[in-house]
């Protein structure tokens, strides 16, 4: 489709929907609050609005359509359609209804909390955060409250690793912490010597992912936790990459005090173009009193809301992103313990199989010769040096074949990176096809690098010139800005 910007389709007098009339006397507004001129929104009939968005939807690739293994670290697994039907069933619930009228969702919250506690080994779980990053932030806020409650406000440093998600560093900074980032050692593990040097009386917490975004599991993770504990800090586990270790190993068993899951990665809720998502914070008994409130309590089969005594307060409005809580609950309930373990094992199997295939492509490598769990950060450094084609260009060319391939991995510690995470959802044939696309593009890079650099050829649009996006005189973050700067 060559679909114009929606404003270009506006025709005066058209409308997409009619609104109930007041049925009561009109209210006269004082000038100070009355809108002077109507907003220049598009005017279109209903079919035309629908057609526009249906066409745009067809110009987007979701899990439903492609072999979505190329958005590494994002765990693009199948989000079952039946769970969407359960999510729709809560569409017309209001969050502040009396709990007597909400026993169903409250029970689901309570059950999912118990299940995630079992999966992580933690004592209590909050399902309030609206995403993984928000859960990281909530964990940091609890860490802050914990130390404050003990009079240890002087702990103003958090330690993280370079291959933990940037939100660990960024959320900690937002919460007022100084951030110390451990680089990988020569083996690709977080550098334990650097940790030893970093911990001390100012240490509030360690924020760490494991396996990291490289797919490498740090076997000395318990030792890391122990070092931080000895210094009086807390250990907080970013479990965004939990998909390969469900039922295999648990956060609490390695000594962690806090952890979080992304329901939209590990527990199958849909990514929805980037949210709504949902995060879960798990904490040990010692931190339970700091959880964001309210949480669901159960007594004699009745469910009610209580706020923990020293709650950090609200992370977001209301109880949580209920449609996703419902979906995640249903997903676990159709798999059970045995199913979750199959998820993990198959995610690891798929990843190792795909790695086996990718590493057969000349020019592709996986830095550090370590085992991988559920994903791998690869490098085209060799191919790039040989052909001058960059990883990003390979990604755009791969899109011509109907797949994603994501390269945003700042900072580019791994040169010419790409990260693949096949999850448990894809078949052997899917992985073969994805590897074949990469092999094909890599071979194009050798035989006809300009072809690859000129991509895309199979997109609604052609190669983008990004320079205006970083130039304040030219950038156009809205249509009105574009009209003003470029069409006036």
Residue 419: CB minimum distance to another protein, A? 11
Q: Which is nearer to another protein, 136 or 445 (CB)?
A: 136
Which of the residues 269 through 288 are near a copy of itself (CB under 8 A)? none
Please identify, using beta-carbon distances, which residue of 386 and 401 lies nearer to another protein.
401
Torsion angle of alpha carbons 427, 431, 434, 435, nearest 10°? -160
What residues pair up with 178 in beta bridges, in sequence order?
A: 157
Q: Which one of residues 80, 99, 294, 454 is an interface residue with a copy of itself (CB under 8 A)?
A: 80
Check residue 440 for interaction with a copy of itself (CB under 8 A).
Answer: no
Our measurement of the distance from residue 48's CA atom to the centroid of its chain's CA atoms, rounded to an integer in Å, reads: 33
What CA–CA distance (Å, rounded) separates 478 from 375?
A: 36
Both tokens of 118, joined, read: 């079992």
CB 327 within 8 A of CB 269: yes
Among 375, 80, 414, CA closest to 211: 375
Tokens 């979906």, located at residue: 327
Nearest Cα residue to 124 out of 339, 273, 306, 2: 306
406 binds, among another protein, a copy of itself, none (CB under 5 to 8 A by kind): another protein
Structural contact between residues 214 and 163, judged by C-beta atoms closer than 8 angstroms: yes
43 or 386: whose CB is closer to another protein?
A: 43
* Residue 360 partner contact from another protein, a copy of itself, none using kind-dependent CB cut-offs of 5 to 8 Å: none
**Residue 284 near which of a copy of itself, another protein, none (CB within 5-8 Å, type-dependent):** none
Q: How far is the CB of 384 from another protein (least distance, A)?
A: 18
Q: How many CB atoms lie within 10 A of CB 188?
A: 19
Q: Is residue 42 involved in binding a copy of itself (CB under 8 A)?
A: no
**At its nearest, how many Å lie between a copy of itself and the CB of residue 399?**
14
457: contact with a copy of itself by CB under 8 A? no
| CB contact at 8 A, 176 and 205 | no
Are 171 and 164 contacting, i.e. CB atoms less than 8 angstroms apart? Answer: no
Taking the complex as a whole, how short is the minimal distance between the CB of residue 459 and a copy of itself, in angstroms?
A: 15
Query: Which of another protein, a copy of itself, none binds 24 (CB below 5-8 Å, type-dependent)?
Result: another protein
Which listed residue (6, 7, 43, 78) binds a copy of itself by CB under 8 A?
78
Residue 112 and residue 86 in contact, taking contact as beta carbons nearer than 8 Å: no
Rounded distance, CA 215 to CA 435, Å? 18
Least distance in angstroms from the C-beta of 45 to a copy of itself: 7
Per-position b or e across 453-487, b if 16+ CB within 10 A of its CB = bebeeeeeeeeeeeeeeeeeeeeeeeeeebeeeee
User: Is residue 429 a contact residue for a copy of itself (CB under 8 A)?
Assistant: yes
* Number of residues forming the site for a copy of itself (CB under 8 A): 25
Q: How far is the CB of 256 from a copy of itself (least distance, A)?
A: 32
Q: Which is nearer to a copy of itself, 78 or 166 (CB)?
A: 78
Quick check: 243 and 77 in contact, CB under 8 A? Answer: yes
Phi, psi of 360 (to 5 degrees): -80, -10
Residues 5-34 that bind a copy of itself (CB under 8 A): 9, 11, 14
Q: Which does 263 bind (CB under 5 to 8 A by kind): a copy of itself, another protein, none?
A: none
Residue whose CB is less far from another protein, 230 or 408: 408
CB of 51 vs a copy of itself, minimal distance in Å: 6
The site partner of 321 among another protein, a copy of itself, none (C-beta below 5 to 8 Å per kind) is: another protein
Q: Which residues contact a copy of itself (rule: CB under 8 A)?
A: 1, 9, 11, 14, 45-48, 50-51, 54-55, 58, 63-66, 78, 80-81, 402, 425-427, 429
């Amino acid at each position: 489709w060559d679909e114009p910007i929606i404003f270009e389709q506006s025709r005066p007098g058209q409308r997409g929907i009619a609104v109930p009339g007041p049925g009561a006397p009109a209210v006269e507004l004082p000038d100070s609050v009355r809108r002077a001129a109507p907003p220049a929104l598009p005017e279109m009939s209903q079919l035309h609005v629908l057609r526009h968005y249906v066409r745009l939807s067809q110009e987007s690739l979701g899990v439903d359509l492609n072999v979505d293994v190329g958005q590494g670290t994002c765990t693009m697994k199948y989000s079952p359609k039946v769970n969407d039907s359960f999510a729709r069933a809560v569409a017309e619930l209001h969050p502040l209804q009396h709990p007597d009228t909400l026993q169903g969702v409250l029970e689901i919250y309570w059950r999912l909390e118990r299940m995630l506690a079992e999966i992580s080994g933690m004592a209590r779980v909050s399902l309030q955060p609206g995403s993984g990053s928000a859960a990281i932030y909530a964990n940091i806020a609890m860490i802050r409250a914990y130390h404050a409650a003990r009079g240890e406000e002087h702990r103003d440093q958090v330690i993280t690793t370079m291959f933990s998600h940037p939100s660990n560093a960024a959320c900690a900074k937002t919460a007022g912490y100084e951030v110390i980032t451990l680089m990988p050692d020569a083996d690709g593990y977080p550098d334990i010597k650097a940790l030893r040097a970093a911990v001390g009386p100012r240490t509030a917490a360690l924020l760490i992912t494991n396996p990291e975004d490289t797919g490498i599991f740090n076997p000395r993770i318990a030792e890391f936790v122990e070092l931080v504990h000895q210094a009086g800090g807390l250990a907080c586990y970013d479990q965004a990459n939990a998909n390969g270790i469900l039922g295999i190993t648990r956060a609490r068993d390695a000594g962690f005090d806090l952890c979080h899951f992304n329901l939209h990665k590990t527990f199958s809720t849909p990514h929805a173009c980037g949210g709504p998502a949902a995060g879960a914070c798990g904490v040990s008994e010692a931190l339970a009193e700091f959880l964001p409130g309210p949480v669901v309590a159960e007594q004699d089969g009745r469910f009610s809301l209580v706020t923990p005594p020293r709650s950090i307060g609200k992370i977001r409005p209301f109880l949580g992103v209920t449609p996703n809580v419902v979906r995640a609950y249903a997903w676990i309930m159709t798999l059970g313990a045995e199913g979750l373990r199959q998820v993990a094992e198959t995610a690891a199997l798929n990843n190792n199989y795909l790695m086996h295939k990718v590493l057969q492509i000349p020019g592709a490598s996986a830095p550090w010769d370590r085992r991988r769990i559920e994903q791998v950060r690869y490098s085209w450094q060799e191919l790039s040096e040989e052909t001058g084609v960059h990883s990003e260009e390979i990604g755009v060319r791969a899109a011509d074949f109907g797949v994603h391939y994501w390269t945003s991995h700042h900072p580019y510690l791994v040169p010419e990176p790409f990260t693949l995470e096949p999850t448990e959802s894809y078949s052997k044939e899917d992985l073969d096809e994805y590897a074949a696309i990469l092999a094909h593009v890599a071979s194009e890079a050798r035989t006809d690098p300009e072809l690859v650099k000129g991509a895309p050829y199979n997109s609604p649009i052609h190669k983008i010139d990004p320079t205006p996006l970083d130039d304040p005189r030219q950038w156009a973050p809205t249509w009105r800005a574009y009209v003003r700067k470029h069409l006036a």
